[in-house]
Amino acid sequence: LTSGLESAWSKLKGEEVLTKENIAEPMRDIRRALLEADVSLPVVRRFVQAVSDQAVGVGVIRGVKPDQQLVKIVNDELVKLMGGEVSELTFAKSGPTVILLAGLQGVGKTTVCAKLANYLKKLGKTSMLVAGDVYRPAAIDQLVILGEQVKVPVYTAGTDTKPSEIARQGLVEAKKKNIDVVIMDTAGRLQIDKGMMDELKEVKRVLNPTEVLLVVDAMTGQEAAALVTTFNVEIGITGAILTKLDGDSRGGAALSVKEVSGKPIKLVGRGERMEDLEPFYPDRMAGRILGMGDVLSFVEKAQEVMKQEDAEDLQKKIMSAKFDFNDFLKQTRAVARMGSMTRVLGMIPGMGKVTPAQIREAEKSLKIMEAMIEVMTPEEKEKPELLAESSTRRKRVAQESGKTEQQVSQLVAQLFQMRVRMKNLMGVMEGGSIPALNN
């Protein structure tokens, strides 16, 4: 998916703004990339439409290129598609929380039982596993072994008892032991069949579970859409767990589940170890799909800090070399809010990394600057040339702010340097001149 999208962004190089015309080709690339990632067609259609609608209406943000902007829009839509926020597990208000796991054979249900118990232990909750896969003796043994591994009790009743009866007994046992969470393992088939569905319905009726989670293998791709829909209609699920994400390179399943069923992915399995289960973060997943973390955080910070009008206003001032101490202060403060100029510049390739010590240093010097700018007259703030031309004025500022004259001179020089630097950043190559300070 990532490489398919690369070509979409590259087609916007050199463009000024996003228009209906210039996004047409990138949108075709995005559509193709999603289909290749095995996302189901209706989902792709709706997605592409949503992205196009937004892209055309979006305004210009200073310093952000159209391709970066499109990356951001695609990212935000991906996050939305996958449910937006993290969906936490729900716990019962009283009595044990019951989690029923369902899914096809081999998707990782039994493994998830133990991983989930291990995960809940970290949340301070006790759990008990119930062996409800009675069709293969090996399945019960597997659950017992995994239970020992994560040190949680496993309730078994052999292979001759009906799963719904095992469920009932297990629940009684858990209540007796004051267990917080009961996790019910069930049998899977290679394909959805009536026998499996009827059995699950019966187990669900007996357990009255808080969560019914469909375990889905991430490699299933768009098949996952139909699977989730069927289970949701037949049994009624509360969410899904996506397993084997460590092996999936395409992401189709992750993108389809929520859109087709309305039910969120709650957890993901990323390996065979007991620790490899974690909450599903739509934003991280989108980031992983796009592989563009740096661009995203850059655009986000730029948006956050600069209101659009503000930015345009500032841009005009910079272009006309009117960048004064008021703007300087506004800009420096905005940058400090961004987590310091240096850190932002660190995101731009070739600017190098900065250390926390350097950031602290930058924050300290902002305080000093603020003190000096505060005591300037409105005229001086608007026309920094006044300060450049008169050492008397600089001496006065130094005295009133309790700084040295040298510090004031530095500040004035810095403003003019910043003018030049910003003009260059804006792509105006001729730059400006830095005046020498007159006495």
Residues making contact with ligand GDP (CB under 6 A): 103, 105-111, 188, 243-244, 246-247, 269-272, 276
Rounded to the nearest whole angstrom, what is the least distance from the CB of residue 288 to ligand GDP in the complex?
15
Rounded to the nearest whole angstrom, what is the least distance from the CB of residue 230 to ligand GDP in the complex?
17
Select 185 or 211, whichever has its Cβ closest to Mg ion: 185
Select 88 or 141, whichever has its Cβ closest to ligand GDP: 141
Q: Please choose, out of 108-116, 267-275, 313-321, 425-433, the segment that lies near Mg ion by the rule CB under 5 A.
A: 108-116
Cβ atoms 143, 114 nearer than 8 A: yes
Residue 106 binds which of ligand GDP, Mg ion, none (CB < 5-8 A, kind-dependent): ligand GDP
Rounded to the nearest whole angstrom, what is the least distance from the CB of residue 242 to ligand GDP in the complex?
9
Q: How many residues bind Mg ion (CB under 5 A)?
A: 3
C-alpha to C-alpha distance for 229 and 211, rounded to whole angstroms: 17
Rounded to the nearest whole angstrom, what is the least distance from the CB of residue 365 to ligand GDP in the complex?
49
Cβ atoms 97, 182 nearer than 8 A: yes
Cβ atoms 71, 9 nearer than 8 A: yes
Rounded to the nearest whole angstrom, what is the least distance from the CB of residue 110 to Mg ion in the complex?
3
> Is residue 156 a contact point for Mg ion (CB under 5 A)?
no
Site for Mg ion, residues 46 to 105, rule: CB under 5 A: none
Which of 173, 236, 161 lies closest to 205, judged by CA? 236
Select 267 or 296, whichever has its Cβ closest to ligand GDP: 267
Select 65 or 244, whichever has its Cβ closest to ligand GDP: 244
Q: Which of 87, 110, 186, 340 binds Mg ion (CB under 5 A)?
A: 110
Rounded to the nearest whole angstrom, what is the least distance from the CB of residue 269 to ligand GDP in the complex?
3
Residue 128 binds which of ligand GDP, Mg ion, none (CB < 5-8 A, kind-dependent): none
Residue 105 binds which of Mg ion, ligand GDP, none (CB < 5-8 A, kind-dependent): ligand GDP
Q: Which residue's beta carbon is nearest to the bound Mg ion?
A: 110
Q: How far is Cα of residue 82 from the mean position of the Cα atoms in its chain?
A: 11
Select 97 or 243, whichever has its Cβ closest to ligand GDP: 243
Select 139 or 267, whichever has its Cβ closest to Mg ion: 139
Select 190 or 429, whichever has its Cβ closest to ligand GDP: 190
Rounded to the nearest whole angstrom, what is the least distance from the CB of residue 299 to Mg ion in the complex?
44
What tokens does 424 get?
Answer: 């260059």
Residue 342 binds which of ligand GDP, Mg ion, none (CB < 5-8 A, kind-dependent): none
Rounded to the nearest whole angstrom, what is the least distance from the CB of residue 4 to ligand GDP in the complex?
25
Site for Mg ion, residues 123 to 142, rule: CB under 5 A: 139
Select 272 or 400, whichever has its Cβ closest to ligand GDP: 272
Q: Which residues form the interface with Mg ion (CB under 5 A)?
A: 109-110, 139
